[in-house]
Structure 1
Amino acid sequence: MMKLFNLGVVWHLNKKGIFPTAILSGGCCAISKPVFKNIGRFDKGFRVWRLEDVEISMKMWLFGYTCYIQSKVKILHVFREQTPYPVSHEHVYFNMLRMAYNHFKEARIEQCRKLICIIERILRIESAVLATGVLLQRKLYFARRKRDDD
């Protein structure tokens, strides 16, 4: 039985030196141009903001690349007091479901659906995600995978 998860951030606080990871933070990562092009760049189907860094690093990992963290590097992020663009839960949920359809097995997609909670919202967002051609992209991505999402 799969445990419900919340896609929260868990930092590698006790690791030292350079070590592999499946997820990189977009605010402090580097990808070579050939790798960036080979994996298909950022998913252009995402809306506004959120999870694009998780999706691209997950795509690299699943396609067989190894992502590394250097624990000695410290990144400070300065956030704006107000965003110059609107960000809504709908955008975040859309991106989460798009990422799930791109990369996760069915049980994990269902767990992501449960995070949305409101059934009308789930159906509306999922319909919008499916209308973007994500199922064809999923098929192409799964054919390229070298690792699974476990």
Structure 2
Amino acid sequence: EPYAVPALGGGFMAMRHDTLKAAGAFDDGMPKWGLEDTEICIRYWLLGYEVWTAPSVNIMHYFRKDRPYSGVQVKHVTHNVLRTALLHFGQSRIARVVKALQERPEFSDAMSLTVDTDVWCRRAELNARRMHDDDWFFAKFANCCNV
């Protein structure tokens, strides 16, 4: 039986066109690979949509010889983690994310990549539209995730 999940990998996603138009596609502020699938799932939940998995469905994923993700560095993935937190989390969770990442060598570069973007305008736009906050999201999935 299908059931609700906090997030899905990008290769396992399908959504209605009207939902994609209303809630948006992958975040343009994440130009490099890493966590964009998690961000879109969190965004959809907070905007009032749901993310479900159907375990009985088989997904085929075709792998390529050459990966289109050349040039991805740890700082880009760290930037995406920071951007996700800044877009969707309250102050206490943002502080926890920053604390968890701040000792990493790539943290300064990732933070520079993050603050020089539209993250604050995008956060305000999403906050004005959302139906739930991050406390609701983490409470909803507390039994399946270490939050």
Contact (CA 8 Å) 1:64, 1:146: kept in 2 or not? yes
- Cα deviation for residue 74 of structure 1 reads 3.8
> 4+ runs of 1 displaced by more than 4 Å?
76-82
Q: Which residue of 1 aligns with 2:138?
A: none
User: What is the TM-score when the length of structure 2 is the normalising length?
Assistant: 0.79
Amino acid at match of 1:60: Y
Q: Which has the higher helix share?
A: 2
Which deviates the most, 107-116 or 125-134? 107-116
Q: Which residue of 1 aligns with 2:79?
A: 94
2:33 to 34, 40, 49: 49
Runs of 5+ consecutive residues of structure 1 not aligned to the other structure: 1-16
Give, in whole Å, the separation in 2 of the partners of 1:67 and 1:21: 6
Runs of 5+ consecutive residues of structure 2 not aligned to the other structure: 136-147
| 3-state SS in 1 of match to 2:41 | helix
Aligned length: 134
Give, in whole Å, the separation in 1 of the partners of 2:40 and 2:112: 23
Give, in whole Å, the separation in 1 of the partners of 2:73 and 2:104: 17
- 1:64-100, CA deviations, whole angstroms, 9 ceiling, x for partnerless residues? 0111111212446565676341221101001111111
- Cα deviation for residue 58 of structure 1 reads 1.1
Percent of residue pairs bearing the same amino acid type: 35
Q: CA RMSD in A?
A: 2.1
